[in-house]
C-alpha cells in the first residue's frame, strides 16, 4: 500500500509530486532543494548553507514518516557545479557518521530555482 508523507517542516512540493512516498517498508523522498519551509525561498549563502538546509528538509520528512538517517540506504546528490562537491560532502557526511548509505553524485546543468544542490533519499526499515 502506498502512503503519501507530508510535513509542514519541509518545503511544499513545487510540482506534481509528493514530498515522500512510503511503501512496503521503504521511504522514497523526492529531491530536496534548499528551500526554507518557513519562507518558501532558497536559503541565502553558498553550498554549505544550501546543503545544510537540504539535509534539514530531509530530516523533517524522515521524522514525519517515523524514520531516521540511520534508516537511509541510498542518496543521490545533484550539484550545479562539481567544484562544490567537497564542501557539500563535508556537510552531508556530518549526518552519516556511521554506516553511511550508498550514494551517487552528479553534476547537472541546472537545478530548480537556481539551487546549487538537490538530494533525493531512499530509506528502509
Pick the CATH number of 3-124 from 3.30.1330.40, 3.90.950.10, 3.40.50.1220, 3.90.700.10: 3.30.1330.40
Tell me the pTM: 0.97
Contacts of 3 (CB under 8 A, 6+ apart): 21, 22, 23
Name the 3-class secondary structure at 47: helix
The more confident residue out of 52 and 14 is 52
Name the 3-class secondary structure at 49: helix
Gap between the terminal Cα atoms of the chain: 15
pLDDT(68) > 90: yes
On average, the pLDDT of the chain sits at 97
Predicted confidence band of residue 15 (pLDDT cuts 50, 70, 90): confident
Query: In angstroms, rounded to a whole number, what is the distance separating the alpha carbons of residues 81 and 12?
Result: 25
Domain coordinates in residue numbering, the chain: 3-124
DSSP 56-106: HHHHHHHHHHT--GGGEEEEEEEES-GGGHHHHHHHHHTT-SSSPPEEEEE
Amino acid at each position: 500500500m502506498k502512503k503519501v508523507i507530508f510535513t509542514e517542516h519541509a518545503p511544499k512540493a513545487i510540482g506534481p509530486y509528493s514530498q515522500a512516498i512510503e511503501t512496503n517498508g521503504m521511504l522514497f523522498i523526492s529531491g530536496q532543494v534548499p528551500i526554507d519551509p518557513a519562507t518558501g525561498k532558497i536559503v541565502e549563502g553558498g553550498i554549505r548553507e544550501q546543503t545544510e538546509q537540504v539535509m534539514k528538509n530531509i530530516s523533517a520528512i524522515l521524522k514525519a514518516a517515523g524514520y531516521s538517517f540511520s534508516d537511509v540506504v541510498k542518496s543521490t546528490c545533484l550539484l550545479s557545479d562539481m567544484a562544490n562537491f567537497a564542501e557539500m560532502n563535508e556537510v552531508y557526511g556530518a549526518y552519516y557518521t556511521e554506516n553511511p548509505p550508498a550514494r551517487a553524485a552528479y553534476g547537472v546543468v541546472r537545478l530548480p530555482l537556481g539551487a546549487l544542490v538537490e538530494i533525493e533519499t531512499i530509506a528502509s526499515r
